[in-house]
Structure 1
Amino acid sequence: MGRRFNTAGPCLPAEHYMIPALSRLPEVPGLVDLKAYFVVHAPRQTGKTTALRALASDLTAQGRYAALHFSCEAARAAGDDFGAATLGILQRIKEAARWQLPPDLRPSAWPMAPAAALLGTALREWAEVCPRPLVLFFDEIDALRGQSLISILSQLRDGYNSRPAPFPVSVVLCGLRDVRDYKAAAGGDASRLGTSSPFNIKLKSLRLGDFTPGEVADLYGQHTTDTGQQFAPGAVDHAYELTSGQPWLVNALAQEVVEEIGVPASEPITVEHLDQAKERLILTRATHLDSLTARLAEPRVRRIIAPLIAGDPLALDPYDDDLSYVRDLGLIAPNPPVRAANPIYREVIVRVLSASIQESVTADPRTFVRPDGGFDLPKALSEFADWWVENGDFLTSRGYYNEAAAQLILMGYLQRAVNGTGVVEREYAVGSGRIDLHLRWPYTTPDGIPRVQREGIEIKAWRTGRSNPLSSGLRQVDRYLDRLRLPTGTLVIFDQRRGAPSIDERTTLTTTASPAGRTITLLTG
């Protein structure tokens, strides 16, 4: 069987298409030569284990180091029992050394020592007898919690400070988060470790980045080389546009096209195939997407994502780590401005948060299909207005993502209304003051002509202490419709001021003119 796109576990060169590890973390060999202790972090499913395992193998193969990659995952269940956690890690070291290192570089039996000093003592004795300098990659270090994490980091720091006495020359801590967040995992009190950082000996923190456009082209090119299947013009660029290079998504899109949709190798993979694969991934909520969106319920995450969806400014204290934490999780882009990490995550976040709304919508989606097969947006907006009067106050009072509740409710209603036939694409960003929706509805007219109906919708909120957003909204919707090249559009304004008129008084559906002279459907609620 040939190689394939991998979405489950580390990549194996003989079985999977993969990008060389050194191109993804080129700084590592130099830091090891500096005898540095450092951190590598990245969101889940970005290829950390694949890259680190390959780097350890390369360092050992070059003959200068005994480099070992192992996982701390087995110690997760130990909790605060640092003795059990240490034994679990030492067992994983011994098992990993058995297949990664030649016999003369492997550790012998571990020494007897008190639990609080066992790891340091064991590594010290191994370094003393090993014919090469030791380099250790502690993968999944953030599986450790509480006293176990404190104990392991303290012993590593003590061993580092004792050099040139025998000890590993370089230690790499690898996990989901940067080291600054370890103090929270250790119990939230940095003073318990005697420092603001529990790993203050680290020289550098490296973030394993997403694939570049060139690496996406390289990965997909491997598939073409192996199978002969081409990517149509624009398809590889579109894959990068949809994923922003997120490694799991890059592989998952192609895997969905090749293995699930089953496009034959004799046919090229097109932009349309990738769009179909994107929708299938979103609808099926693959394991990676589910594990990612499960984080949305965390208060730290909600503090960032709620204003992001609502388009509100982000108000954080100067030393607030929540923004960095959500970046480390991979939900938002690694660089400013604050925005979803990629278009697929942007869509998944909103669909997950509005899913319960879709379940409560009783309107039959078939009633929004016009006789000619098009989507009856005026009817959908009219029925939403009635439904909003009945349910809006109750749904927005539940307190879950309350800053964006009204916007999520409308998006959930529209998602239910298009019911898989149409697509609602969303654009939102911190400080934008709005959410832009692009509704696309493919259909075939009664005389057999295929068409795609497109609608532009802008959602704004009127907050306490701010002026009526109608004027700015009309200017913004003009710019949005210019970009979409549409002659008309819809502006929705939710009045969320304290003391606003009652929901039945403020909910209206009318038309107005934009500054550019367009006829704009105006829904207020």
Structure 2
Amino acid sequence: MSRRFNTAGPCRPGIDYMVPAAARLPEALGLVEQEGYFVVHAPRQTGKTTTLEALARELTAAGRYAALLFSCESGRAWEDDIGSASRAVLERIRAEADRVLPLPLRPPAWPEAAEGALLVAALTAWAQACPRPLVLFVDEIDALRGQTLISVLSQLRDGYRGRPGSFPASVALCGLRDVRDYKAASGGDPSRLGTSSPFNIKLESLRLGDFTADEVRELYGQHTAETGQEFTSAAVDRAIELTGGQPWLVNALAREVVEKLAVPPVEPITIDHVEQAKERLILARATHLDSLAARLAEPRVRRVLGPVLAGDVLTIEPYDDDIAYLRDLGLIAQDPPVRAANPIYREVIVRVLASRIQESVIADPRSFVRPDGTFDLPKMLSEFTEFWMEHGEFLTSRDYYSEAAPQLVLMGFLQRVVNGGGYVDREYGVGTGRTDLLIRWPYIVEDGTRHLQREALELKVWREGRADPLRAGLRQLDGYLDRLDLTTGVLVVFDQRPNAADIAERTVITTTTSPAGRTITLVRA
């Protein structure tokens, strides 16, 4: 049986396709050799456990260290019961050691100790009995909270000076966030730990990154080598573009194509298969994407994403903790400008926020398909303006992502009427006050050849105290159409000034000419 693309839990050698661990965290070995205590952090389902488990296995197999990965998840239930949480963690250490370590490297019986010293006493006894230096990878450290987290971090600091003979030589704490955030998880008062950092023995913080383009190609190439089924270069490039290399998405797209779409092994996997898989993943709202969507209601997430969705200037310092928080969660890209981490996340964010709009749209998507199979954009714009005149003021009067409310109304309407027949690509121009949309509508003509209709829209908002965005919008739309090599487009201007004319009076569809001489459909709403 061939290996498979894994989307649930750590990857298993020989069963799942895997990127080599050493390539993903190359700095870790050097820190272990320096007897360093360090932090590894990354968003969920990025491959932290898979990578550290493989690294522990390699370190032990080399014969120099006794290395073990264990999880603190079992201590989650005891936020302030230090003794119970410590015993739960020690049980996991013993169970994992019995499972993966040779008998001479396993821990002795744990010694008796006060509840606040159980961990330091146990690790000291193990380090003294073990014939090799101990290396511990403490997974899910952020599952611990309150006094329990404080106690674990404090005990590691207490034992640190005894390394390597009387305490683990190297320890890595692994979780979602960097160590700077452990204070908040432990209660938020740094004085309770006696330092501004709860883990000031840390030598370095490592962030496990997304797959590189070469790693995605290698992973997909493993499937080709085992089954003979080729991913076309265009399909791989599109997968890299859609996922941004996010490991779960990379595996999920491929799994959707291979197992759910069940493309026969004798057929190559094409860009169309990848597009279908992307849509199915978003619509299915798998656990990974659902957990992402659940974050959107958090105030600190809204504070960053609201202006991003609206294309407004982001009045937040580059080192603002909310930006760091979203980067650590994997919601936004690691490098400026602030934007969704990848196109799939961008699509999920919009569809979740616009879902209440879609449910209000009663239009039949089939009614927007012309007899020749093309998409009827003028009909869509006409019906949207009717929808906007009836529901726009109510839908934009709520506080939820109010900065981007008009854009979300249009995107929700558009997604409903395009659903099933085509695709909507979105771009947010941070600081430009615009949102760009591209409708891609595949259709087949009478001779059986496949064609792709493309329609570009730019959305602008006219706010109080600002000039009419028409001129800037036309100029920006020209640039967008130049990139797409299109001759015409649509500019939508939402008037959100408090003293604007009545919505029924101001909502109108006309045409205008752009600075480049293009005929542009202008929607004022």
Deviations 1:445-491 (A, max 9, x none): 56766432211000111223322211110001011111112111101
Matches within 5 A, 1:335-354: 335-354=335-354
* Counterpart in the other structure of 2:416: 416
Q: After the TM superposition, which residues 76-475 of structure 1 pair with which residues of structure 2 at under 5 Å, given as runs?
A: 76-161=76-161, 166-317=166-317, 320-445=320-445, 450-475=450-475
What displacement does 1:385 show?
1.3
Residues 17 and 222, structure 1, Cα contact 8 Å, conserved in 2: yes
1:468, 1:50 → 2: CA distance?
53
SS of the residue 1:136 aligns to: strand
For the residues of structure 1 that align with 2:185 and 2:26, how far apart are their CA atoms?
29
Residue 206 of structure 1 aligns to which amino acid in structure 2?
A: L
The alpha-carbon deviation at position 374 of structure 1 amounts to: 2.1
Evaluate the alpha carbon distance shift between residue 419 and residue 318 of structure 1 in structure 2; reply closer, same or farther with a 3 A threshold. Answer: closer
Are residues 289 and 88 of structure 1, via their aligned partners in 2, closer, same or farther at CA, if it must alter by over 3 Å? same
- Alpha-carbon distance, 1:9 to partner: 0.9
* Superposition TM-score, scaled by structure 1 size: 0.96
2:44–2:176 contact (8 Å) kept in structure 1: yes
- How far 1:256 moved relative to its partner? 1.1
- State the 1:373 CA deviation: 2.8
Tell me, in whole angstroms, the C-alpha distance in 2 between the residues paired with 1:89 and 1:502: 64
Show the counterpart of 1:24.
24
In structure 2, what is the Cα distance between the partners aligned to 1:225 and 1:450? Answer: 31
- Specify the alignment match of 1:66 in structure 2: 66
The 3-state SS of whatever aligns with 2:458 is strand
SS at match of 2:413: helix
Secondary structure at 2:77 match in 1:
helix
Determine the C-alpha separation between the residues in 2 that align with 1:190 and 1:354: 40
Contact 2:134 2:164 in 1 (8 A): no
CA contact (8 A) 1:41 1:208 kept: yes
Q: 1:502 to 1:181 in 2, by over 3 A?
A: farther
Mapped contact 1:160–1:167 kept (Cα < 8 A): yes
Deviation at 1:303, TM superposition (A): 1.2
Cα distance in 2 for partners of 1:428, 1:319 equals 21
CA 1:464/1:292 → structure 2, altered by over 3 Å: closer, same or farther?
Answer: same
Give 1:328's aligned amino acid.
Answer: D
Q: 1: distance between equivalents of 2:366 and 2:234?
A: 35
Q: What is the alpha-carbon distance in structure 1 between the residues aligned to residue 164 and residue 223 of structure 2? A: 48
- Counterpart CA distance in 2 for 1:162 and 1:451 is 70
2:461 is aligned with what amino acid?
A
CA distance in structure 1 between the partners assigned to 2:235 and 2:186 by the alignment: 45
Which digits, 9 at most, give the CA deviation of each residue in 1:280-312, with x for residues without a partner? 111111221111221111111111111111111
Runs of 4+ in 1 over 6 A off after TM superposition: none
Tell me, in whole angstroms, the C-alpha distance in 2 between the residues paired with 1:70 and 1:440: 47
Equivalent residues of 2:308, 2:428 under 8 A apart = yes
8 Å CA contact 2:112, 2:118 repeated in 1: yes
SS at 2:233 equivalent: coil
Tell me the amino acid that sits aligned with residue 62 of structure 2. Q
Distance 1:290 1:164, change over 3 A: closer
- Separation in structure 2 between the aligned mates of residue 495 and residue 186 of structure 1, nearest angstrom: 46
Task: Give the residue type in structure 1 aligned to 2:135.
Answer: V
Deviation at 1:92, TM superposition (A): 0.5
Instruction: Give the direction of change, closer, same or farther, for the CA distance of 1:447–1:65 in structure 2 (3 Å limit).
Output: closer
Deviations 1:386-433 (A, max 9, x none): 211221121112211111111111100000111211211111142232
- Decide whether the 8 Å contact of 2:133 with 2:165 is kept in 1: no
CA contact (8 A) 1:21 1:51 kept: yes
For 1:501, the equivalent position in structure 2 comes to 501
CA contact (8 A) 1:181 1:325 kept: no
User: Residue 234 of structure 1: SS of its match in structure 2?
Assistant: helix
CA contact (8 A) 1:176 1:328 kept: yes
Preserved CA contact (<8 Å) 1:373 1:446: no
More deviation, 467-476/505-514: 505-514
Distance 1:26 1:450 in 2: 46
**Are the equivalent residues in 2 in contact too, given 1:312–1:430 (CA < 8 A)?**
yes
Q: How does 1:34-45 map to 2 (within 5 A)?
A: 34-45=34-45
Question: How far apart in 1 are the matches of 2:429 and 2:55?
Answer: 37
Aligned partners of 1:141 and 1:174 also within 8 Å: yes
Say which is worse superposed, 78-87 or 447-456, in terms of deviation: 447-456
Alpha-carbon contact 1:338-1:429 (below 8 Å) kept: no
AA at the equivalent of 1:275: E
CA contact (8 A) 1:434 1:458 kept: yes
- Tell me how far apart the structure 2 counterparts of residues 336 and 457 of structure 1 sit (CA, whole Å): 25
Once residues 308 and 22 of structure 1 are traced to their aligned partners in structure 2, the CA distance between those partners, rounded to angstroms, is 36
- C-alpha separation in 2, matches of 1:194 and 1:320: 25
SS in 2 for 1:78: coil
CA-based RMSD of the aligned residues comes to: 1.7
Quick check: 2:123–2:168 contact (8 Å CA) kept in 1?
yes
User: What CA deviation, in whole Å up to 9, does each residue of 1:67-119 have, x standing for no partner?
Assistant: 11001111112122222211111110010100121111111221221211111
Q: Which structure 2 segments of 5+ residues have no match? A: none
- CA distance 1:127–1:450, shift in 2 (3 Å): closer
Task: Output the CA distance in 2 between the equivalents of 1:408 and 1:245.
Answer: 27
C-alpha distance in structure 2 between counterparts of 1:371 and 1:225, whole Å = 45
Which residue of the partner structure matches residue 4 of structure 1? 4
Identity %: 69
Summarize deviations over 1:116-154 as a string: whole Å, max 9, x none: 111112111211222111111000111111111111111
SS of the aligned residue for 1:77 comes to: coil
CA distance in 1, matches of 2:450, 2:137: 56
* Deviation of the 1:266 alpha carbon: 1.1
